[in-house]
Amino acid sequence: MDNSNDLRRDIAKQTMQNDVRLNAAYIDGEWITIEASDSDTVDDHALYDPNLGEVIATTRLSTKFHVDRAVDAAAKAYPAWSQTSVSTRAHYLNAIADEMEQQFDKLVGLSVFNNGKPIEEAKIDVSDAIACYRYYANLITEQETWSEVSSESGIRLLKTYAPVGLCALIVPWNFPMVTTAWKLAPALAAGCTVLLKPSEVTLLPELMLGNILSAIQMPKGVVNILPGGAEVGAAMTSHPWIDKVSFTGSNLVGEKVMIQAAKGIKDISLELGGKSAIVVCADADIEYACDLIIGGIFTNAGQICSATSRLLVHQEIAQSLFKRLKAKTEDLYIGDGFDTATQMGPLVSKQQLAEVKKYMDIATAENLDCLTGGEILKRQGYFATPTIYTDVPVSSQLWMEEIFGPVLVSATFSDNVEAIRLANDSKYALAATIVSADETAVLEMALQIEAGHIWINEQQIVLPEAGWGGFKQSGIGRELGRDGLSAYQKSKHVLLPS
């Protein structure tokens, strides 16, 4: 590690020490110190630098006591915020984006420091979050207050929208700030007040949001930030005053969230797992296809719900493609996130590294053919090798289960019918990629592949205006786009004489 990496890490450490409020929850527009006396379950919680595998800070997590307090604040703020003009809400969303731009380098540094992702990926994340707040600021101003549905028999029918109410937003650790923006921006645009629970694993960049909200003078109680674990999530999702729950995470936890939200008949959105396919047709450019394959599975060390972790290759080009893919994969630079040359960083935690190792051991037990990788690196931090298995049977655990790491399984196909069948051979249906020179043929394939988001000859770019979400066990509802705003609104109809 060169001196520039040390310098970037030192700057991030200074930002943490100077700007991040640890041992506190952001409630009713203020940082509330989490005292040991608040609950018998308050313990010190460690935050790590995944690049080095070292503790960088200790903090305390909020409890049910803080959830109750935050709900009270959100309920108190709701009547006024829900009735604010769209221009006022748009102003605050743009103000969040403006402040994030001012804090850009700090947010990037904290993301690398606490999440481990390469610095260039962290820059993309912060930019994407900013774009999301701006998108919903614009979208809400375009939405008509009243729209006329029909006018017949002397009767007028008008339609408008109302906020769904108090929202519990629970976001994961793999994309701090990004998934927060996906939920918070449309919720605020709709006129909801919220409780936000960032992942306890990657608190540093997320807690900066409290400072941003104070800086822009967001009305008190509209946004409340509760750093916490499962106890806090359960208290949020089961609280009788919460009207909507939006959760992104694993299917196992998503099922629990759904059960908790059932009491009181809460509105619910779930963005869950994926085992997405990338289909490479016989006419694909092999070099470009390899770039798309690598980007789809090794970006963020494979810790992406939409990671195209199942590779389907036409048998005519399989041998040539795998030869080139092996070479390009082994040429990836794996290193410290603060190193600008790094192309793949570490897993986020020791626990996630162990999860990836578990699947590598299963691959060995199943006698899978390892094209490259298959190892945990013996170095500081939580690093695994970019790994590719070939000729993987559909009965393999690695084919069926989401690994959430840099592990690619592959199989070949003889025609598009078989490719579609294999692509759909999953309990998940979040995303897919198709690589082919024949646009007409791949658009036909896109109609038949079960997925909510499909890229054709493109990297996994996610636009704010494109709705996001899947079918089957990949979740319920949509985020982003107009669908994302609708998720936090209820339509209202008014009938009156013409």
The set of catalytic residues is: 271, 305
Say what angle helices 203-215 and 104-115 make with each other, to 10 degrees.
Answer: 160
Instruction: Tell which residue, 186, 118, 167, has the closest CA to residue 468.
Output: 186
How many CA atoms lie less than 13 Å away from 296 in the CB half-sphere? 35
Instruction: Tell which residue, 146, 158, 152, 147, has the closest CA to residue 494.
Output: 158
The one-letter amino acid code at 61 reads L
Residues 6+ apart with CB under 8 A from 405: 301, 302, 303, 347, 352, 355, 356, 359, 384
| Distance, CA of 212 to CA of 198 (rounded, Å) | 15
Instruction: Tell which residue, 85, 91, 119, 88, has the closest CA to residue 105.
Output: 119
Task: Provide the 8-state DSSP code for 199.
Answer: -
| Distance, CA of 450 to CA of 261 (rounded, Å) | 27
| Beta carbons of 456 and 234 less than 8 angstroms apart | no
Task: Provide the 8-state DSSP code for 311.
Answer: E
Which residues share a beta bridge with 455?
Answer: 433
Instruction: Tell which residue, 479, 430, 481, 463, has the closest CA to residue 128.
Output: 463
